[in-house]
A and B are shown apart, each in its own frame.
Chain A
Amino acid sequence: MNWKPVVWGVIVLWLGAVLDFGAAPYLSIKGGLFAFTLTFAYLIAAYSRPAAGALVGFFAGVISGGLAGGGLAVHIISAVVIGFMVSKVARQPEELAALPTAGMIGAALFMTSLIRVFILPAGSIGAYLIAAGLSALMSVLLAFAVYPLARTLFQPKEA
């Protein structure tokens, strides 16, 4: 087994968690936040087999639920489902380019928020959805920016 992507995956998820906790509140725009951990996790999932994508989602869910201090099961389940789906969608005969990948990550982020609000209703659904939409758009930018690095680190080597 090639352990290199696994080690990089752990480092990238930890970095995402540090940025989620330390930087995201300062980069908020109208309630929208950069979801670093989930964006990085879904980018990794895009280069993984579906089972591995779900596993990456699981760890991303543990991190975001652990940092939030509440709703751990909801965070994990939503990230597992979407990590699995991202991996399935990304497994095309031809590799997805930067922009479609970033768009897919944004959509994945929005769907994650929808699953969360479906299981754990928010106080004001309108405000939640606006914030979730903005976060998804911000994650498209983030995914587009880090796509080349993710491709270098996690794209499986040709046999």
Chain B
Amino acid sequence: MILFVFALFLGFFQNAAHRSGRIDPVSRAVQALVVPSATGVAGVFQNIADFGQGIKQAPELKREAEELRGKVSSLENELIQADMERTELRELKELLDLPTAAGRSSVVARIVGIDPYRGRITLSSGSAQGVKPRLPVIGPEGLVAIVEAVDENRSQAVLITSPEVKLGARALREDGPVDGIITGNTPNTLEFEVVRNAPIEVGDKIVTSGLSEVIPGGLMIGEVIEVTPAPEIGSRLIKVFPKLSPSFSQEVIILK
């Protein structure tokens, strides 16, 4: 009975800490004791996984490397062009005496823990780097997670596949975008809710709608893989396959 009371007390403490955007002391202590050693173990497993994958995909990787070399040189040219245009734009704005648009800065963080059961990741940056709750975490494929709790040098984020996450989303279609709400469902699927007769088809790309104050629009979320009529809820069940694939020690960007 004492253990149950203690469990409820600790649970209450954790929820209270989360509500104020902090990591509770118990989780912090457990993670401090475990994460440093676990990072080493994960590094070993990551190397083994990379080695196995490297052997399996060697021919494909070689071809891809050649393609990427070509793309890199083309992108380098574009980057130089963009830099020149940015400088020109700033100079023009200064000439017009307009304030320079405050672009959002970002923090690069590393994934140091993944809990697929509860749909959470632990990131290597925290409040000391300017991370705050509710900021979007972006990977190479698009939106990965939303920051939930922040410690000084660590933060926890909820994956967009978690049922706890609801986001404004937009289906990109040639006949015009369709707005709706995307919700996590399973580790491999999301559900997209739209108004009753909105046109949605398998293959439609889903991005963030940009209607939120902190999550910009146009971040890739996934692709529609199934549209099933669901007369019992007077609508359709639209399943989306997420683009995110968070892996241990992968670098992500937290958009401030």
Chain A residues within 8 Å of B, Cβ to Cβ: 14, 17-23, 25-28, 31, 33, 54-55, 58, 61-63, 65-74, 76-77, 80, 122-124, 127, 131
Contact = CB atoms under 8 A, between A and B. Distances in A.
B51 interface: no
Nearest to B37: A18
Interface stretch (B40-48, B87-95, B215-223): B40-48
Nearest to A131: B117
Contacts of A127: 186-188
Interface string B6-32: 111011111000100001101101110
Contact of A67 (B6, B31, B40, B188): B31
A80 B116 contact: no
B186 A55 contact: no
A127 B239 CA distance: 14
Given A18-B34, A26-B248, A72-B10, 4 more contacts: A27-B45, A33-B117, A62-B10, A65-B14
B27 A18 contact: no
A22 B26 contact: no
Contacts of A67: 27, 30-31, 34, 113, 115
Contacts, number: 134
11 contacts: A25-B114, A26-B46, A58-B6, A67-B31, A69-B156, A70-B120, A72-B10, A72-B13, A73-B14, A76-B3, A123-B183
A33 B116 contact: yes
B10 to A, nearest CB: 5
Chain B residues touching A, range: 35 or more
Contacts of A55: 3
A150 B8 CA distance: 30
Contacts of A25: 42, 114, 116, 248
A31 B114 CA distance: 13
B45 A72 contact: no
B35 interface: yes
A18 B116 contact: no
A69 B42 contact: no
A146 B49 CA distance: 24
A14 B34 contact: yes
B49 A26 contact: yes
B224 interface: no
A63 B183 CA distance: 29
Given A31-B187, A77-B4, A14 B33 contact: yes
Nearest to A74: B11
A22 B11 contact: no
B211 interface: no
B39 interface: yes
Identify the interface centre among A33, A58, A68: most chain B CB within 10 Å of its CB: A68
Contacts of B42: 21-23, 25-26
B124 interface: no
A55 B117 CA distance: 24
B11 A21 contact: no
B38 interface: yes
B203 interface: no
B3 A54 contact: yes
A19 B38 CA distance: 7
A127 to B, nearest CB: 4
